[in-house]
Structure 1
C-alpha cells in the first residue's frame, strides 16, 4: 500500500480513538467533573454538532490552501485540543476542548479523503477511500479498547495524553510523506452544499442520519449499560469495546463485499433491518438476570459491531453512485449527516435515561433504523437511476 495513504490513515486512527473511546469514559468524567451521566453525554452531543456543522465551514475557508499544510496543521490543533482535555480542571473547559477537536477532526477527515483520491490513480479511487476509512475501523477495533484500558490505569486524562501522542505522530508523518503543492479549487460553502440538490442524495443523507441516531442513542451510554444495566465491572469495559471493535472490522469488510455482490442499497436495507433487532436486544439483555446478562452483552457486542459497520461502506457506495461527479463533496456531507445523527441520538439517549430509565434505550433506539427504511421506501420512486442496485 502507498505509504502516503498509511500516513493519512494514521490521522483518522487518532481521530477515531478520541471519537469512540469517549463513550467508555463518560462515567469517569462525570465523577471527576461533578456532573451527571446525562450531562457528560452532552460532550458527545456538542462534539457531533461541531463536527457536522463546523467542518464544512472550515473546509470551505481552507479549501484552496496546500493540503499538506491543512492536514499537518489540523492534526497539530487536534493534539492541542487533546492536551487541553487532559488538563481541563472542569467540565466547561473539557467541553471547549472537545469542540476544538471536533472542528479540526472533521477538517482532517474530509481533506484526507480528498487527498487520498488526488494522489491515487483513477481506477484506485475506491481503494484509496477505503484505506482512509480503515484508520477509523482500526480505531474502533483496537484503538478505543486500548484507550479504555489506559483509562483503567491512568484515568480518562491519561487516555487523552495517549490520543495526543498518536495525533502528534500522525502530524509528523503526514508532513514527511506528502508532497507540497497539492491544492484544490476553492469552493464556497454555498457551492459545497449545492450538491444536495442532486436527485436522491438528500434522502440518502437522511437515511444515514436516522441510522446513526438509533445507534448512538444506545452506544453513547454503553459504559452505563455495561456497569449499571448488566452489572459488569469497570475492568471489563475494554473487553466490551474490543468485542464491538472486532465485529466492526468484520462488518466493514462484509459490508463492502455484500455491496459489490448484491448492491449497496440492498446491503443498507439488510443492515437497517438487522440493526433494529440488535438495538432492541440491548434492552432485552438488560432485563436478564445479571449472572448471564453480562456474558450475553459481551457476545452481543460482536454481533452489533458486525451489523453496525456493514452499513458504512454500503452507504458510501450509494453516495458515490448517486453523485459520482461530486464524490468528495457528497462524501463530506455524508460525514456531516453521520455526526448529526450521533448528536441527535446522544441527546435522545440522555432524555430516555432521564425520563424512562436505562433499560428503555434499546427499544427507543430501534425505532430510528425503521424510520430510515421508511425514508428509503418513500424516496425510491423519485430516484430515476439507482445504480447501487446493480
Structure 2
C-alpha cells in the first residue's frame, strides 16, 4: 500500500504532472468525455452479457447440440480460458498500436467471435468460437480503463474507470436477463445474435466518439512484458484473485442457497440476481469516488464490506426475503473495490500499464474459478449451502490482509 501513485495521463518521462497544453487541446476533453464513457461502457455491457448468459442457457445449448449439460458447461471454461490467455498476449503484442485503433479492433474481434458462436453447428466449433470470443475480453477492459483514466485526468481517474466497468454491472441487471429470456423463447442463438448487435453498435460508437488519443503514450512488447517481473503487479493481482474469489463463491451457489435454505420460490431468484446487479452498479459508482479520494484504502474498505455482508447473508439465508435484500449489499461492497484495484494496477505498473490493466480481468476470471471450486468443495464436505458465503467472507478478509 506504500507504492507510489502514478498519473496514467502523463508521459512516462515527464515529472508526473499532466501537460496543460494536452488538456486544453484534447478534443474529447473539449466536448466532455461523457459519450466516450458511454461507448466504452456499451462494449462492457456486450462482454458482460455474453460472458454470463451462457450459464442460463446451458440446457438449451445442450439439447440443441445433443450433448449433456455438464459437457455444455465446458463452454463456460472455454470463454474463461480465452480471457486468461488473451489479456496478456494481446496487451503485449499490440503495445505499439494506437489505443483508439486497438479498442475498435478488440471489439471487432469480440463481435466476430460471437458471430461464430451464432452460426456454430457442432460442439467443437462452438467451443472454439467461445474461446475466440473470450480473447479480447481482458484486453478491452484494460485498454478502456486506461483511455477513460487518461481522458478524465487527475482526481477523476477511478471514477471514470468505475463508469466503464458499470457496463459490466448493467449487463447483470438488464443484458443477461433479457438475453436469457430471448434465448429461452426463440432459441439460444437469438441470445448470441443480440450480443452481435451490441458489438456492432459498440464498434460504430467507438469509431464515432473516441478521439485519436495521439497524446496517449504507447510502449512496445518488451516494455509491457517487463511488467511481469514486478512483484507489486503480481501481489495486486493476487489481492483481486483471492478477495474476489469470495464474491464468486457466494454468487455461484446463490440460487440453491435461497431456494433450499430460505424457501424462496425459484421464480423469485431473478429478483435476487437483479438486486445483486444493482448493487454492482452502485458499488462501481461509489467505489470510483472512494478510490479517487482514499487510494488503496478504498480497496480494503470494499473487501471488508463484502466480508461483513457475506457473513450477514449466511446468518439470514434461512429467513428468505431478508437474505434476498442482503444480496444488494454483497454486490455493492464487492464491486466497490474494482475501480481502486484497476487504478492501483495502472499505478504500480509504471510503463507496463496495458498488460497490468488487462491482467486484472484474467485475475477476476481465475477468482471466478477459485470461488466456484472452493464453494463446491465445502458443499461436497457436507457443510451445506450456507458455507460458500462463509468461505467468501474468509477470502475477502484474506484479500484485505494481502493488500
If the TM-score is normalised by the length of the shorter chain, which range does it land in?
0.7 to 0.9
Residue pairs, 1:325-344, within 5 angstroms: 327-344=353-370
Q: What TM-score does the superposition give when structure 1 sets the normalisation length?
A: 0.78
For 1:366, what is the secondary structure of its paired residue? helix
**Distance verdict in 2 for CA 1:203–1:14, change over 3 Å:** same
Give the total of aligned pairs.
Answer: 370
CA distance in 1, matches of 2:234, 2:156: 27
Aligned to 2:306, which of 267, 275, 279?
275
CA distance in 2, matches of 1:82, 1:223: 27
Mean CA deviation greater in 276-285 or 147-156: 276-285
Aligned to 1:254, which of 279, 286, 293?
286
* Structure 1 match to 2:339: 313
Task: Kindly indicate whether the alpha-carbon contact (under 8 Å) linking 2:162 and 2:285 is maintained by their aligned counterparts in 1.
Answer: no
Q: What TM-score does the superposition give when structure 2 sets the normalisation length?
A: 0.76
CA distance in 1, matches of 2:253, 2:192: 19
CA distance in 2, matches of 1:234, 1:162: 26
* Structure 1 match to 2:6: none
* Structure 1 match to 2:109: 77
CA distance in 1, matches of 2:254, 2:54: 10
Mean CA deviation greater in 162-171 or 301-310: 301-310
Aligned to 1:370, which of 394, 397, 403?
394
Deviations 1:1-27 (A, max 9, x none): 422332222112211222233443345
For 2:164, what is the secondary structure of its paired residue? helix
Which has the larger helix fraction? 1
CA distance in 1, matches of 2:149, 2:262: 45
Deviations 1:123-152 (A, max 9, x none): 654444333223223223332333333344
* Structure 1 match to 2:24: none
* Structure 2 match to 1:185: 218
CA distance in 2, matches of 1:257, 1:117: 13
Unaligned runs of 5+ in 2: 1-31
Residue pairs, 1:188-337, within 5 angstroms: 188=221, 191-198=223-230, 200-223=232-255, 235-260=267-292, 263-279=294-310, 288=318, 293=320, 295-320=321-346, 322-323=348-349, 327-337=353-363
Mean CA deviation greater in 168-177 or 295-304: 295-304
Q: CA deviation at 1:75?
A: 1.7
Task: Kindly indicate whether the alpha-carbon contact (under 8 Å) linking 2:173 and 2:278 is maintained by their aligned counterparts in 1.
Answer: yes
* Structure 2 match to 1:108: 140
Task: Kindly indicate whether the alpha-carbon contact (under 8 Å) linking 1:64 and 1:184 is maintained by their aligned counterparts in 2.
Answer: no
CA distance in 2, matches of 1:284, 1:344: 23
* Structure 2 match to 1:385: none
RMSD: 3.5
**Distance verdict in 2 for CA 1:73–1:199, change over 3 Å:** closer
For 2:218, what is the secondary structure of its paired residue? coil
CA distance in 2, matches of 1:278, 1:92: 41
* Structure 1 match to 2:51: 19
* Structure 2 match to 1:388: none
CA distance in 2, matches of 1:155, 1:137: 25
* Structure 2 match to 1:170: 202
CA distance in 2, matches of 1:177, 1:107: 20
CA distance in 2, matches of 1:224, 1:311: 26
**Distance verdict in 2 for CA 1:326–1:192, change over 3 Å:** closer
